[in-house]
A and B are shown apart, each in its own frame.
Chain A
Amino acid sequence: MKPITKITKHWPVQKILDEVPGSVDCMIEAGLDCFACNSDKSETLEEGMKSHGLSDEDVLKMVDEINKSWQSHRMKQLKKPKDSDFTIIEVTEGNKVYYKIGGLMLTQKAHQAILQLKPEGKNYIKILLEAGGCSGYSYEYSYTDSSDLEDGFVFRLDDSISLLTNLFTFNKLLGSVIDFESGLQGSGLVFHNPNSKQNCHCGVSVNF
């Protein structure tokens, strides 16, 4: 997962303390004890640190530390896949067949397409939700030969291919149905995501 920067040096100290519970530890460690008690916290992090005689470099270091703390706090709230998510289960509904795995359901068409289009030697289909597209996030997927991925999980579809995703994507996609559609504008996976607030017409871009 790409590191996401949230906090900048222009944020008021109070706002940082409110939004990042771990930031107080970062500040105390840098000798800014007074930030933890009843001093003026309406000034920005940069102003506050400069008034304590700390350098620009110290400010940047602090911003990094606080962002790291925010990131790890956020990751703790993300659900990890359950053991049962790693087993593929065939589900029949009327005239349709689905495959349940990784907190998702694949239609038979999507499952077949992923298997059939697999290039030789690339044993993973990587599905990631990345920043971009007209709605904020977009689904990115590609075949890859390596399961190397930060916060990555591998869900085995069959002997030849596995689904590779990361913790963030797993959480955002929970309960989604992935279909395969072919049309004039090309063929590809289509994501039906019950967690999304806003979908782009293309079915690729999404927001939560």
Chain B
Amino acid sequence: MNKEKIESLLSDNKIILFMKGDKFMPKCGFSMNALEIIKKLTDDFITYDILEDEELRSDLKIYSEWPTYPQLYINQELIGGSDIIKDLYLSGDLEKLIQEA
């Protein structure tokens, strides 16, 4: 597993969404829902297309101990996937996490 690559991506980007497709071209409904929620809260985040990086796609699942995409990381910590992002958005906690990032 290329742990170094994952950790440098996480330390370089405070808010990063690993997803199918990217900000400009989401390629899955769950990834798109997560993206749309984050876009409502901030412009200052990046998206990483795991469909274009097969190695990272399988490595990150092991690193995160999370089997699916999208995966949102804030300050190097895994927040969760589409359902958790939605719940945290509705409770207002996601906005706090993003503001504090």
Contact = CB atoms under 8 A, between A and B. Distances in A.
B48 interface: yes
Nearest to B46: A94
A199 interface: no
A120 interface: no
Nearest to A109: B52
Say whether chain A's binding surface is mostly helix, strand, loop, or mixed. Answer: strand
A168 to B, nearest CB: 23
A179 B24 CA distance: 11
Interface string A84-102: 0000000001111010000
A107 B56 CA distance: 20
B53 interface: yes
B25 A95 contact: no
Interface in B32-55: 46-49, 52-53
A8 B90 CA distance: 54
Contacts of B16: 94
A105 interface: yes
State the 3 A-B residue pairs at the shortest beta-carbon distance, nearest first: A94-B48, A177-B25, A94-B46
A113 to B, nearest CB: 15
